[in-house]
Structure 1
Amino acid sequence: MPAVSSTNVSEAEELLLDEWHALLARHATVCGALEAELRRRHDIGVSEFEALERLATGGQEKCRGVEITEAVHLSQSAASRLVARMERDGLVERAGCPEDRRAIYIALTEAGRRRYLEAKPTQRAVLAATMGG
């Protein structure tokens, strides 16, 4: 297999890669700042905040586990561990689904709602500071 050299990379490909690397760097900067401030001020991480926000703003204060998985962009097993930690911390509770015995609903607790409302201004301020908004 021939070695790839910079002469084999088109200008369009180089621009695409530059854009990709800039996106990765911005994501790391924003997520790092969010993680640090949310942990320091509210004892939650970015994933916990995203899960709480999904529950608090979804209109029903509960959702199926798969919706949490999609909201936090984690694997199903990682999202399950996240929900277990949040349940242990009293932020959410699990409830069965009456229509589908295999499905589990994740419900926001009053403590979870309070934590979300306390952390929301911090999250928004960090986003504004790191994303220039």
Structure 2
Amino acid sequence: MHANVRLVSASIADGADEQLLDEWHALLARHATVCGALEAELRRRHDIGVSEFEALERLATGPQGKCRGVELTEAVHLSQSAASRLVARMERDGLVERTTCPDDRRAIFIALTDAGRQRYREAKPTQRAVLAATMG
């Protein structure tokens, strides 16, 4: 989801500019802290990263355990090429499979496998615990 931003030509007052930058840097620092902790624990305990977990969660909580490739790309906040590499790794690891849409053979669905569903169930408590510890 991208925010709509309207650029304004008027300059921001120095104090407001400094506050805006402070908030931005705090957001970046919090993001780095949470993502770093998630990445470390998910790798250590479940041999997956944050992006893999997000993809598994999107598929596990979506209708019928599958979605179009473009929807998965948007859900994991990656570029199309990075998401394609992610899906290829997850497919190689047996967590997902690609299928064609019966109504539109050009469309590709990414479907959760039984192994992917199991990995998600095992990793979900870890992800939630790290979120609670780092964001709570």
What is the TM-score with the length of structure 1 in the denominator? 0.92
- Secondary structure at the aligned position of 2:123 is classed as helix
| Residue 43 (1) aligns with residue 47 (2) | yes
Name the CA distance, whole Å, in 2 between partners of 1:120 and 1:26.
Answer: 21
The superposition leaves residues 56-111 of structure 1 with CA deviations (integer Å, 9 ceiling, x where unpaired) of 00122000001110111000000000000000000000000111111100000000
Correspondences of 1:88-107 after superposition (within 5 Å):
88-107=92-111
- Secondary structure at the aligned position of 1:94 is classed as strand
Partner of 1:16: 20
After TM superposition, the structure 1 stretch with the greater mean CA deviation from structure 2, 33-42 or 97-106, is 97-106
Letter matched to residue 65 of structure 1: G
Size of the alignment, in residue pairs?
125
* Alpha-carbon shift at residue 9 of structure 1 (Å): 6.1
Q: Where in structure 2 are there 5+ consecutive unaligned residues? A: 1-11
Partner of 1:3: none
Percent of counterpart pairs with the same letter? 87
Q: Where in structure 1 are there 5+ consecutive unaligned residues? A: 1-7
Name the CA distance, whole Å, in 2 between partners of 1:24 and 1:48.
Answer: 21
Equivalent residue for 1:70, pick from 68, 74, 78: 74
- Secondary structure at the aligned position of 2:67 is classed as strand
Name the CA distance, whole Å, in 2 between partners of 1:9 and 1:115.
Answer: 50
Name the CA distance, whole Å, in 1 between partners of 2:72 and 2:61.
Answer: 12
Letter matched to residue 102 of structure 1: R
Letter matched to residue 130 of structure 1: T
After TM superposition, the structure 1 stretch with the greater mean CA deviation from structure 2, 105-114 or 58-67, is 58-67
Name the CA distance, whole Å, in 2 between partners of 1:92 and 1:106.
Answer: 6
* Alpha-carbon shift at residue 53 of structure 1 (Å): 0.1
Partner of 2:7: none
Partner of 2:3: none
Partner of 2:9: none
| Residue 59 (1) aligns with residue 73 (2) | no
> What's the Cα RMSD here?
1.1
- Secondary structure at the aligned position of 1:60 is classed as helix
* Alpha-carbon shift at residue 11 of structure 1 (Å): 0.5
Equivalent residue for 1:83, pick from 87, 92, 97: 87
